[in-house]
Amino acid sequence: MANLIGAVTTSHVPAIGAAIARGRQHDPYWSAFFEGYLPVRRWLDETKPEVVVVVYNDHGLNFFLDKMPTFAIGAAPSYRNADEGWGLPQMPSFQGDEDLSWHLVESLVADEFDIVTCQEMLVDHAFTLPLALLWPQRPWPVRVVPVCVNTVLFPLPSAARCLRLGQSIGRAIDAWDNDARVLVIGSGGLSHQLDGRRAGHINREFDQRFMDSLALEPEWAAQQSINELVRQAGTQGIELLNWLVARGTMTGSVTELYRNYHIPISNTATGLMLFEHRH
């Protein structure tokens, strides 16, 4: 069986990619944010995951408003990044793990999740930036499986549904006939809204409550309605659903090893959490 070693949840603001490209990690505005990833990198150096399941939301690079699946999984030999219009440099392609991808697809369908399977797939900043923050070295030292969740076009999947999706993914990883060390990344959030009357909305109190709940009580967020989560976290802050999926994958003993919370980065509350998982 595979070994699910833990999960990392992190923000994915495009401005982070611009700062990396321009070498601004040590600028006063950015240093506290980037330094927050050093403890997680040290843990990754020690645990050496081989496969990473990245739970994220697409921003129009692979799916758009005319075709927006609720849940989609990549099942490709590799995944490439492309220009999104942010001026970010394209990153090297990512090697997929097709065996785990198809195993997840078959397991989730058996669990009655209707999954869109993508044998070709572009990945945007929500996928690439977490990997760049955690593994600045090249070539990429891990194989990947993209899991895309609709957090863009209503109706959105409920928080409870996303937690159950994570639980199903976790059971599938546990049953995968491979001895690989697997890490799950939940990408997005935290509270922010980019448009409308609440543009610039940040809710520190809610963010802290949400982060507190993930370690011991993920059901707290799963009980909230989508409308309530949007009210608290903002229209784009609903990306926290990706964190909830990632947390749901860990069905054994879960220990929060580290967290960092920093505001603002490009009008966004950014968060980072590291969870260790043991059966």
DSSP helix/strand/coil, 168: helix
**Which residues are known to be catalytic?**
125, 192
Q: Return the structure tokens found at 121.
A: 């797939």
- Separation between Cα atoms, residue 89 and residue 275, nearest integer Å: 30
Q: Return the structure tokens found at 38.
A: 């050093």
Which 8-state DSSP code applies to residue 96?
B
Q: What values do phi and psi take at 44, rounded to 5?
A: -65, -35
Residues 6+ apart with CB under 8 A from 152: 57, 58, 59, 65, 68
Q: What values do phi and psi take at 105, rounded to 5?
A: -60, -50
- Separation between Cα atoms, residue 108 and residue 23, nearest integer Å: 41
